[in-house]
Amino acid sequence: MANELHKPQNTNSYFWATLGVLHSTIKWLVKRRFLFFLGLLTSILVALSLSANHWVPFDPEQMAAGPRLKPPSSSHWFGTDEFGRDIFSRIMVGMRLTLQVGFVSVCISLSIGMTVGLIAGYFGGWLERLLMRAMDVLFSFTEILIALALVAVLGPSLENAMIAIGIAAVPFYARVCYGAVLVERNKPYTEAAISIGASHARIIFYHLLPNVLPIMIVVSTIGLSNAILAASGLSYLGLGAQPPSPEWGAMLAASKNYFQRAPSLLFIPGLSIMTIVLIFNLLGDQLRQMLDYNDQGKHS
Amino acid sequence: MTNYLVNRLFGALLTVWVTTLAVCFLIHLVPGDPVQIMYAQSATTTPEQLDLIRHNLGLDRSIIHQYIIYMSNLLNGDFGTTIRGQQPVLDLILLRLPYTLWLTITALIISLIIGGVAGFFAAYKQGQWLDRLLMSSTIIGISIPPFWLGLMLLAFFSVNLGWFPVAGDGWLSLILPATTLAACQAATIGRIVRSTMIDIFDQDYIRTAYAKGLSKPRVLGRHALRSGMVPIISILGMQFAYMMGGAIVVEYIFSWNGLGRLAIQAIFQRDYPLIQGFILTFSIIVVLVSVLMDVLYASLDPRISRK
Amino acid sequence: MKVIKTILITLACITTVATSAKVFSADDIIWARYGDIDTLDPHRSTSTLSMQVWNQIYEPLLARDSEGNIGPNLAKSYSVSGDGLTVSFALNDNIKCHDGSEFTSKDVIFTYERAFSTSNPSNTKSAWGPIKDVKANGELAVEFTFNTPFGAFIPFMADPFASMICDSNEKLGKSYGTTAAVGTGAWKLDNWVKGDKIELSRNDSYINLGRLADNKGAPKMKRLIIKVMPEGQARLAALQTGEVHIAEPPLESVDAVKSNPKLDLFIADNTGQDVFFEFAISRPPFNDIRARQAVAYAIDPDMALDIVFEGLVSREYCTVAQGVMGNDPDFCKSVGYKYNPEKAKELLAELGYSVSKRLEVNMMTWTGGNREKLLQVFQSQLKQVGIDAKIEVMDIGSLNARVKQENNITEGPGSFDLMGWSWYDPDILYQLWHSPGAYEGYNTPELDALLDKTRSTTDPKKRLAVVQQVQKYLIEQAVHVPLYTPGWMWLYGINKNTTGLKFEPFNQPIFLDVTIK
């Protein structure tokens, strides 16, 4: 990007410099227009969901006997559920829960996973073997089992589901981070830092971490979609969000009895989950492609 | 080769051992008194009986003692007794395990066929519309919540059209759950097959085969496919593990009488011995299969075993 | 790869063959219900799920006809002494237990002594009444002597809870009630696969001495299979395909059953069922009447019932159900709590709760019957007055044990539950609320005295007056908040090819006449 900067003209050099930067940014964005679009979409959705409680047309928890199981109409855009609650409002408020669960789980997995990966990759030796073995064992449990086991003992709730999924995904993040650290460790700049006597902490936080971060971000977006799928799965089973929470997985669970009477109950929450997951998967895909282009020498 | 085998076996045993540790101590994560929670189910359990149960489980002794009791029971084949109905956990698990295996293996085969065929043709027609179509459908495939897909298939084909029974034990009731399980994994397999095949098509030996004058089907079938299979096997173990996990939810949706459905019921009923037995069994199966797959892979690709 | 594939396919085929071996034959009646029995021992459970099955395996001494009149069964006649303190039964001759042994007065005494055992009494021991002694007058006559006259004893002798247990069950030890049960009923126990099904087969030497059926001998069909199918949609689908002959349809699909030409819908009336809220009073907040009243004021049962049941149930204001003596909607409505969320908020404020300090409680019920949905509506109503109720649903056996447990602990969040009981007589109030009580819950000396009077008063008019006093007490104290009736398993979807299914009063299906085309 830097090499595309225009050379400033003789007069009004700042003006042309700014123009130049703008031009490059726009060119970059246009080139990556899909990524830009996805990023914009995500930000809009996040903003909408965070403010959902303020702008939704109905109280997501308000029950009424009259308008039950109604199909989409002008007053209820997505129809109503078996308690007469407005589905659109519930979906919008539920979006905040969905994003929240995904985000928190990923934060947990990322922080623990990166710690393990950085320590194992940097220090090596017995610590490396121990930690990576532990990750292998945890990995063979499969995420679902760990999540189920934790929810089974801690009790069903959305918070416990978040924690369970967060912990269950740690081996995945740890492995990726570990692999990335190994690559960076062999690079010249690390050797240089070690030879000038930089402390462990400095090397890890100042040199390794920033270089490992891009790949971790890519992995996180895909991890986010997995976390969302896992959380809605647990809520569907009744092990995550509890009533009257408008979590999308829980909404799907209730739809089972009303297939024929109110199909919108089945389609809409599922479609919502799929849309958000799709967006993050595409985002991750785009970021990964971008990373591969920047990092020459890697296959896609 | 033997070195490799020993290494893998050691790793497997280690995993199983750690599982028993985790499973045994899982009960301590329960907020409150686990024995009281468990036995809230039995109307006739007196406080004296509760103490006896606590003693038998070793919960009133040290942690090491508990583990010893647990392991000695396990090695004797005693996985404990369920709270509801007082049945031996092992019997119940073995009763339902075949159903889960049946479902998982069928789904695995289906996903291999679909993913394999799709990936192969996508690689063959790389860059053309077929490739693009298949690859975009895989992204959608991994984005669909599997429980939603299952629900929709159930709603449409079972409840609406009545083609398949809503619940049951036979092949007919297996089709929908297996398809649901297979659908999401087929996407992943498809992508891997595609990238593997693309690499292979580029290889020199393929070009040599063509140069020798061999027909297309011969080249593709005999040479390309064979070497393409090998990387697939390497991920087969992991795919199996994912499917076992996915089977839990799918069994619940389709009322399929397998281990997963049993586990979910156990979780709702706070039947901890059954939950422990389930986790242990699940882990053992997954580890066993992955070792098997690794050994198979090693036998096919000598480079691995010679490391 | 090929080798593996072959092995796998073979395994799969073998599994299919093995599992398809269990096929139901054409001589079976298949009945699907939402839950499993707790036990085969009539003294160890109180659930309707269990009771309906005992009623096939065992027989009580007396039986009810279609109008509810008590008539003979195992006992060919009974007589009550003038002072009401002695009840004598003359037993029918030649009744055989399933294992071939004769049914005599010894079995009656065995059942009674077992129910009254000091170490492990029956869950429904108090329903027997204040019995002083039981003795046999030979092989075919039994005499019960009472401390005080107990009018509800005769109706109880026609109830499945008073099923006669053959004394040969004693040598079964621990397996009695779990894997084996010997009775004199029309169906013998073959197998109970817990959580899955109960397999009963015809008792060929059965003689119908008083049950509600035209058939005076053994059942027409060979086997009765009672399956557990918790999923409502699965039961409905199985009904529609004919896999299952009798099943409770999911409440949302009742219209689908009515409009299906291959199915009939049977609605059991006179179920004696009453669904109500009760509270754990061993600790705050529900040891204070104001907290209980707050809940009673906060809920709007009419709206809740409308949303959840769409007219399939009716509002019940009394603590005894429609059709039972003492049921008087106008009277009960006048002493009950009406929907008044403002009053609820006031009471909560008195107790120290506010917008910032909300009251957190546990609200429990048992699976099925749309009860979880009902609790969700109540949860939303309670939230509006400042009560955050967490919903817990479990099977009926667990709920019964849990309620008892909650009534005995002194710490922890407040707990209350949606409970259901069905009974043919207001004596149920004695069983529930006279110390120690079915759940060891609320009781007071004042209430005990009133309840004692309901048992000792023989004149029907005077008894009714006392029963109404008890009801007023319970409702005003908000310990028994009546909600609706019927509550569970009162709807039956029956395949049109299945004829002859009859129902004794209080929702007891009888399969003696059933034939399937």
Q: Cα–Cα distances in Å, from B235 out to A143, A170, B53, B185, C357?
A: 17, 20, 44, 12, 54
pLDDT value of position C416: 95
Cβ distance of C233 and A256 shorter than 8 Å: yes
Establish if A10 touches chain C: CB-CB under 8 angstroms. no
Q: Using a CB-CB distance cutoff of 8 angstroms, which residues of chain B are in contact with residue A143? A: 245
A280 → chain B, closest CA residue: B143
Per-residue tens of pLDDT for chain C, all 517 residues: 555 655 665 566 555 544 443 445 678 999 999 988 888 999 988 889 999 999 999 999 999 988 888 999 999 999 998 888 999 999 999 899 999 999 999 999 999 999 998 888 888 888 999 999 999 999 999 999 999 888 889 999 999 999 999 999 998 888 888 889 999 999 999 999 887 899 999 999 999 999 999 999 999 999 999 998 888 888 888 888 888 999 999 888 888 899 999 999 999 888 889 999 999 999 989 999 999 999 999 999 999 999 999 889 999 999 999 888 889 999 999 999 999 999 999 999 999 998 788 999 999 999 888 999 999 999 999 999 999 999 999 888 888 888 988 898 888 899 999 999 999 889 999 989 998 888 888 889 999 999 998 888 878 889 999 999 999 999 999 999 999 999 899 999 999 999 999 999 889 999 999 998 8
Q: Hey, which residues 373-402 in chain C have their CB within 8 Å of chain B?
A: 394-395, 397-398, 400-402
The answer to whether residue B216 scores a pLDDT higher than 80 is: no
Give per-residue pLDDT as tens, B80-121.
877 766 778 888 899 889 999 999 999 999 998 998 888 888
What are the phi and psi torsion angles at C376 (to 5°)? -65, -40
ipTM of the complex: 0.84
Strand residues in C259-413 grouped as ranges (E): 263-267, 273-279, 314-315, 359-366, 387-394
A160: closest CA of chain B, how far (Å) = 12
State the DSSP code for C499.
E
B279 Cα to chain A: minimum distance (Å): 7
Q: Looking at beta carbons, which residues of chain A come within 8 Å of B160?
A: 259-260
Per-residue model confidence as pLDDT tens for chain A (300 residues): 455 555 555 557 888 888 888 888 888 777 778 888 888 899 999 999 898 888 888 888 888 877 888 888 888 888 888 898 999 999 999 999 999 999 999 999 999 999 999 888 888 888 888 888 888 878 877 788 888 888 888 888 899 999 999 999 999 899 899 988 888 888 888 888 888 887 888 777 877 888 888 889 989 998 999 999 999 999 999 888 888 899 999 999 888 888 778 888 899 999 999 999 999 999 888 888 877 766 544 333
- Higher-confidence residue of C50 and B129: namely C50
In angstroms, the CA A264 to CA A274 distance is 15
CB atoms within 10 A of CB C330: 8
Which runs of consecutive H residues, i.e. helices, occur in B125-215?
Answer: 129-143, 146-153, 171-201, 204-211
Q: Name A47's Cβ contacts closer than 8 Å, sequence gap at least 6.
A: none
Mean of the pLDDT values across residues B218-245?
77
Q: Say yes or no: A65 contacts chain C, CB-CB below 8 A.
A: yes
Q: Where do we find the tokens 């990556």? A: A32
pLDDT score for C351: 92
Burial class (CB in 10 A: 0-12, 13-18, 19+), C145: middle
Write down the residue that tokens 């529930």 correspond to: C432
pLDDT computed for residue B128 by the predictor? 80
Chain A CB contacts of B196 under 8 Å are none
Test mutation, C235, C379, C385, C394, chain A, max A CBs within 10 A: C379
Q: Tell me what the mean pLDDT of segment B191-220 comes to.
A: 76
| Identity of the residue in B87, B162, B171 whose CB atom sits nearest the CB atom of C16 | B171
Would you state the pLDDT for residue A130? 86
Domain boundary assignment for chain B: 89-305
* Chain A stretch 259-288, residues whose beta carbon is closer than 8 A to a beta carbon of chain C: 259-261
- CB within 8 Å: A152 and B267: yes
The answer to whether residues C441 and C417 touch, using CB atoms and an 8 Å cutoff, is no
Which pLDDT value is given to residue C11?
A: 65
C6 close contact with B: CB closer than 8 A: no
Distance from CA of C16 to the nearest CA of B (A): 7
C255 contact A CB<8A = no
A147 alpha-carbon distance from chain centroid = 17
Rounded distance, CA C257 to CA C249, Å?
7
Q: Which residues of B touch C233 (CB under 8 A)?
A: 159, 166
Taking an 8 Å cut-off on Cβ atoms, the answer to whether C231 and B85 are in contact is no
Contact A243 C307 (CB under 8 A): no
CA dihedral for B206, B208, B209, B211, sign (positive or negative): positive
Indicate which of C308, C360, C364, C388 best probes the interface with A, i.e. most A CBs within 10 Å of its own CB: C308
Residues 284-303 of C with CB under 8 A from A: 303
Could you read off the pLDDT of A54-85 as tens digits, one per residue? Answer: 888 888 888 887 788 888 888 888 888 889 89
User: Around Cβ B233, how many Cβ atoms within 10 Å?
Assistant: 18
- pTM listed for this prediction: 0.84
The alpha-carbon gap from B213 to the nearest alpha carbon of chain C, in Å, equals 28
Fold designation for B89-305? MetI-like fold (1.10.3720)
What's the CA angle centered on C234, arms C232 and C238, to 5 degrees? 120
Per-residue pLDDT, C484: 94
Angle between helices A264-294 and A209-237 (to 10 degrees): 170
pLDDT digits (tens, 9 = 90+) for B7-54: 888 888 888 888 888 888 887 777 767 777 666 655 556 667 777 777
Contacts 24+ apart (CB under 8 A), A243-246: A243/C376, A243/C379, A243/C391, A244/A61, A244/C376, A244/C379, A244/C380, A244/C383, A245/A94, A245/A97, A245/A158, A246/A60, A246/A61, A246/A89, A246/A90, A246/A91, A246/A93, A246/A94, A246/A97
Tell me, letter by letter, the H, E, C secondary structure of A22-51: HHHHHHHHHHCHHHHHHHHHHHHHHHHHHC
* Residue A147: predicted pLDDT: 87
Q: Report the C-alpha gap between A181 and A175 in whole angstroms.
A: 10
Suggest the residue from C306, C310, C360 to mutate for an interface test with chain A (most A CBs closer than 10 A). C306
Say what the pLDDT of residue B108 is: 92
Contact B148 A255 (CB under 8 A): no
- Helix runs in A65-157, H state only: 87-123, 125-140, 143-154
Q: Looking at chain A, which subunits does it touch, using at least 3 CB pairs closer than 8 Å as the criterion?
A: B, C
In this complex, do A257 and C383 lie within 8 Å of one another by their Cβ atoms?
no
CA neighbor of C485 nearest in space, from C510, C463, C506: C506
Q: Is C229 on the interface with B (CB under 8 A)?
A: yes
Alpha carbons C52 and C55: distance in angstroms, whole number: 5
Kindly determine whether residue B159 and residue C233, on different chains, have CB atoms separated by under 8 Å: yes
* Residues in chain C closer than 8 A to A251 (CB atoms): none
Using a 10 angstrom Cβ sphere, with 0-12 exposed, 13-18 middle and 19 or more buried, the burial of residue C341 is middle
Chain A residue at shortest CA distance from B277? A149
Are B121 and B134 spatial neighbours (Cβ–Cβ below 8 Å)? yes
